[in-house]
Structure 1
Amino acid sequence: MSRIFGSVCQNGYVVRDIHAAMKHWIEVMGVGPWFYIEDVKTDWFKHRGAASDMKMSVALANSGDLQIELIQQLNDAPSMYKEFLDAGHEGLQHMSYWTEDYQGLYDKAISLGYVVGHEGSIGGEKGRFAYFDTQAHPGTIVEISDISGTKGRTFAHIRKVAQNWDGSDPIRPFG
């Protein structure tokens, strides 16, 4: 439990091959089903304060209460995902904290000296997210994500489906 952000809700893995990563999580880890979005549509995206045309594929599944996110960046646009891969890393890149008071948590983090590395929105104003530049070593970036809108309902659905997953239909196109 973070005294600043609350409970970790998601571990985000940046990968070079999302299909190979899903296969690993399904076959080796037994985690699924995966809700896969081949081309995520962002409303807007900024990297270090400047607009960026970053494109990505995302896959989401749950292991108990913890959501696992796989991200494959599809182009060379500036992002913290690209920085992570360019540094020679692949795997756990961030921990995400979810909130229904996004602006309050965002403002609190900024007041404490956190610096936004990249941020954006998916699905409108209530789909905002921010990654703070907190990486002391790989896997320690902090993300906050607004779950007060559609995203929160989607995440709850993914968790519920995973609870009784029998191994069938392991990859489900979504979005």
Structure 2
Amino acid sequence: MSRFLGQIRQLGYVVDDIEQAMDYWSRVLGVGPFFYNERVPIENYRYRGEAYDVHNSVALANSGFMQVELIQTRNDAPSMYRDFKQASGTGLQHVAYWTESFDEDVVRLTGQGFEIAMSGEVGRNGRFVYFDTEYHPGTVIELSEVAGPKGEMFRLIREASETWDGNDPVRPFPDLGRL
């Protein structure tokens, strides 16, 4: 376990073709099912202090307690994903820690000198921040709030992986408004 913020709970990969990546991860690596959203509804998105309209496709699946996130940018809006792709191509872009104490953890980390590079929210209690920490490819740190519906969605995704038989490898995201 990390002494930083507990367990790393997610590995985030930037990919060129999310459909191809989901197929590879599920068929070859046996990870799934993937829950896919062609356009994640990100609100209050900011990158380096500026607001932008991003269009990202995201797929989530678990392998045990570790969640795999596949991310494909669909527009050229400034983001850490776009920067990573331009600098490194594709691959592991971030590790994520999950928290139910989002505000306190953000205050603690910024107080330790960490700078927020990217932030936004996905539904109620679904805020996220990415810190400017990529000193080695794939080491950006995301802090993801999981106190409400987003945490419930993550639980449902993990539970689906526990009984997954290889069928129906791509499914729609659960509706956060109904969780």
Give the TM-score normalised by the residue count of structure 1.
Answer: 0.97
2:92 pairs with 1:92: yes
Q: Which residue in the other structure is 2:142 paired with? A: 143
Structure 2 unaligned spans of 5+: none
Deviating beyond 4 angstroms after TM superposition, the runs of 4 or more aligned structure 1 residues are none
8 Å CA contact 1:55, 1:73 repeated in 2 = yes
What aligned pairs does 1:1-175 form with structure 2 within 5 A after superposition? Answer: 1-124=1-124, 126-174=125-173, 175=175
Matched to 2:45, the amino acid is F
AA in 2 matched with 1:61: A
- Separation of aligned partners in 1, 2:101 and 2:88: 35
Q: Does the CA contact (< 8 Å) of 1:89 and 1:138 recur in 2?
A: no
Aligned counterparts of 2:89 and 2:108: Cα–Cα separation in 1: 30
How many residues of Structure 1 are paired with residues of Structure 2 in the alignment?
174
Query: Shift of the alpha carbon at 1:40?
Result: 0.7
Listed one character per residue, the Cα deviations across residues 127-151 of structure 1 (whole Å, up to 9, x for unaligned) are 1000001001110000000000100
- What are the superposed Cα offsets for residues 111-137 of structure 1, whole Å, 9 maximum, x if unpaired? 00001110000103x110000010011
TM-score (norm 2): 0.95
CA distance in 2, matches of 1:2, 1:167: 32
Counterpart secondary structure, 1:87: helix
**Alpha-carbon distance in structure 1 between the residues aligned to 2:16 and 2:109:** 30
CA RMSD of aligned residues (A): 0.9
Letter of the 2:129 counterpart: A
For 1:36 and 1:133, how far apart are their aligned partners in 2? 27
Identity within the alignment, %: 50
Q: Is the 8 A contact 2:88 2:137 kept in 1?
A: no
Deviation digits for residues 61-104 of structure 1 (CA, Å, limit 9, x no counterpart): 00000000001011000000000011132110000000000001
One-letter amino acid matched to 1:100: E
Listed as ranges, the gaps of 5+ residues in structure 1 are none
